[in-house]
Amino acid sequence: MTASTTQAALVLEDGRVFRGTGFGAVGETLGEAVFCTGMTGYQETLTDPSYHRQIVVATAPQIGNTGWNDEDNESVGPTGKQSESKIWVAGYAVRDPSRRVSNWRATGTLEGELERQQVVGIAGIDTRGLVRHLRTRGSMRAGIFSGAALADIEELTERVRTQPSMLGADLAAEVTASKAYTIEPAGGEARFTVAAIDLGIKTNTPRMFAERGIRVHVLPSTTSFDEVMALKPDGLFLSNGPGDPATADGAVQLTEAALGKGLPLFGICFGNQILGRALGRKTYKMKFGHRGMNVPVIEHGTGRIAITAQNHGFALEGEAGEEFDTPFGKAVVSHTCANDGVVEGVRLLSDRAFSVQYHPEAAAGPHDAAYLFDRFTGLLEGEAK
């Protein structure tokens, strides 16, 4: 019996059940149910380490038409090789899996890759109803069960409810590189060197630096400040990643040391929350988060609006344009979401450190925020002069 003919159920912790058929591996998986509004880029979503321990619900009705390829994975293996990349989501829920792959770059199918990597999914469910439920009730613990893993709903609900919550989850250590590796510039000698703390870094981020002539040392999340400085970096980068930022005390202490040293700093997503904590701000868990590639963000210093890719369920406290004192000088809430006012960026007024909540590496798209890599490069150039 194949997954597509196997009965399956997605069970939420509040007792709501969505029935469908198996998609990918058959079995059981647990995680936090969240939804992603991206209409494209499912391969980049599934391989993004920021989705670790989450069951992703696709809002686009048909998924899988472009298949799977060897080039679009957004994770690397423990030694930095893209060939070792993996799917990080805990599970995948879709409405209508494409019956045929039609893309010249495809090397396989989405369901085939889910099966190969033993990722349990479900298809044929009312994803629109599920998304409306999560928007109303908020992201919550969930499980997908198929085949022999199916049981009475009361028993399945109990399995779901006894799993750990995402609130308080310390997950960066579970997705970080096992050892440091280096990405060299795309061509010629390195203009600058950046130390990137891997809290769940995406493949395209070091590539964006490399295109600007920057050598990137990707370092495990447990790297000490002395180990960072031994590399003589021109700047520090804090990556995206999963889990509750309130648990990331080590990364916060590293950031505080870098700020005290005056090292130029750039952070994205989880890195934005880490910088915010180092500047004295608190974080909180959002009701259902921002996950997709169509989130409008206002940069208050310029009035510029960018359509951005996002994946976060936690955020920094603050108000648009708010200035506040820190041990490292005055800072400002530089960006907020145009939809709901959530903080999307902070920076020191000295401009030596800044961060954004979204994903300017744009994998998968849009490319509105790529200029932030140029901004950081300009900061490094100013330091060099």
For the chain, the domains span 3-161, 172-384
Question: Nearest CA to 93 among 165, 166, 31, 174?
Answer: 31
Binding-site residues for L-glutamine? 50, 241, 243, 270, 273, 311, 313-314
State both tokens at 185: 């510039």
* Mean pLDDT score, 83-91: 87
From the candidates 44, 111, 256, 361, give the one annotated as an active-site residue. Answer: 361
Count Cα neighbours of 54 within 13 Å in the Cβ-side half-sphere. 30
Binding-site residues? 50, 241, 243, 270, 273, 311, 313-314
| C-beta atoms surrounding 378 within 10 Å | 13
337 catalytically annotated:
no
From the candidates 269, 290, 335, 337, give the one annotated as an active-site residue. Answer: 269
- Which range in 3-17, 271-285, 371-385 is most confidently predicted, on average pLDDT? 271-285
Does residue 271 surpass a pLDDT of 60? yes
Task: Specify the length of the chain in residues.
Answer: 385
- Least confident piece of the model among 74-88, 185-199, 267-281: 74-88
Rounded to whole angstroms, the Cα distance separating 175 from 88 reads 9
Task: List, for residues 309-339, the tens digit of each pLDDT value.
Answer: 999 999 999 999 999 999 999 999 999 999 9
pTM: 0.95
pLDDT of residue 78: 58
* Mean pLDDT score, 177-183: 93
pLDDT of residue 339: 96
Does residue 76 surpass a pLDDT of 90? no
Dihedral sign for Cα 51, 54, 55, 58, please: negative
> Where residue 188 falls among pLDDT bands split at 50, 70, 90?
confident
**Residues 6+ away with beta carbon under 8 Å from 226:** none
71 catalytically annotated:
no
Rounded to whole angstroms, the Cα distance separating 283 from 166 reads 14
From the candidates 52, 290, 335, 359, give the one annotated as an active-site residue. Answer: 359
Does residue 81 surpass a pLDDT of 90? no
Task: List, for residues 98-112, the tens digit of each pLDDT value.
Answer: 999 999 999 999 999
Q: What is the CATH number of domain 172-384?
A: 3.40.50.880
Secondary structure of 287-317 in HEC code, one letter for each residue:
EEEEEEEEEEEEECCCCEEEEEEEEEEEEEC
Cβ atoms of 18 and 153 closer than 8 Å:
no
- The CATH number of 3-161, from 1.10.760.10, 3.40.630.10, 3.50.30.20, 3.40.50.170, is 3.50.30.20
359 catalytically annotated:
yes
Count Cα neighbours of 84 within 13 Å in the Cβ-side half-sphere. 8
